[in-house]
Structure 1
Amino acid sequence: MEIADRPQPPTGAARLLFRAPVHLYRWGLGPLLGGRFLLLNHVGRTSGLRRRTVLEVVDRTDGGAPIVCSGFGSRADWYRNVLAHPRVLVQVGARRFTAEAEPLGADEGAEFLARYARGHPRTAVRLARMMGFVVDGSQEDFRAAGRELPFVRLRPRA
């Protein structure tokens, strides 16, 4: 695995495009995205305002807790927000639940990315390229990329 040029979080028109799925949830059309995406409702770390972000579910734990990844690294606002305020509201399709956001260790994230790549090989290569990684498609390359990215478990609260 080679680290090319790590991109900054999107701004301008690209940011609007990335935020488009949030509007689907606002219009009640979140179920169209299925279980592969979720809406994360979180609190801004400095503003204290409610924020929303749609994220791809990389995997689920045995207990069903979604695992998500910050493709733009630890600089992503949503990631920094959940570190500061880990109690979040998650919506997957039409189902909502409160959760505790738990950052995962590098080795755990590496395994989740490798497993994602086994299930979605072409998408994983394209996403890795978009995140600034050059991978050869091997499990070890995806593990190496996964060690560079922050992963979060969204553990449902009882």
Structure 2
Amino acid sequence: MPVHLFRMGLGPVFRGRLLLLVHTGRLTGEPRRTPLEVVATGRVDGRRAWTVASGAGERAHWYRDLQESPQAVVQAGRGYHAVSARFLPAEEGGALMAGYADRHPRTARRLCASTGFTVDGGAEGYRRAGASIPFVALVEEHS
């Protein structure tokens, strides 16, 4: 359903919580569209960046596709942005997850549960879980 809403120009309805990743399928070479929840937004070297997590781990198709071909396009709201994927180290993922849990506790609990982690609600539990979840920063190619 989110893919259709993005295609209809209704991306702003997600208020920055979701983006649409348009990436190249590693097996087919065809464009693939995957809606992803935004864990964090910010800047990397002065360029916009959206950070997303792979709840299915490194076996998620979109994640493996980006490993093969890190250039993609992000539709955030109504805007389109050419991006390059940057795979984050475990420590950075842990810090991101702890911050995300502060902002969105229920969603963070669900994400951790979907990856097999039970957390007690403390920052250290989220930090440990986040260190095991693959995070990707989608960094805008031009500012």
Q: TM-score, normalised by structure 1?
A: 0.84
What corresponds to 1:24 in structure 2? 5
1:40 counterpart letter in structure 2: L
Distance (whole Å) between structure 2 residues aligned to residue 115 and residue 48 of structure 1 = 36
Gaps of 5+ in 1: 1-19
Count how many residue pairs are aligned between Structure 1 and Structure 2.
139
Higher strand share: 2
2:115–2:133 CA contact under 8 A, matched in 1: no
Once the two structures are TM-superposed, the CA of residue 58 in structure 1 deviates from its matched residue by 0.2
What corresponds to 2:33 in structure 1? 52
Gaps of 5+ in 2: none
Equivalent position to 2:88, from 104, 128, 132: 104
Q: TM-score, normalised by structure 2?
A: 0.92
Written as runs of structure 1 = structure 2, the 5 A alignment for 1:32-51 is: 32-51=13-32
Would you identify which runs of 4 or more consecutive aligned residues in structure 1 move more than 6 Å? none
| RMSD, matched Cα | 1.1
Equivalent position to 2:116, from 114, 117, 132: 132
Distance (whole Å) between structure 2 residues aligned to residue 45 and residue 85 of structure 1 = 7
1:34–1:92 CA contact under 8 A, matched in 2: no
Q: Specify the SS of the correspondent of 2:15.
A: helix
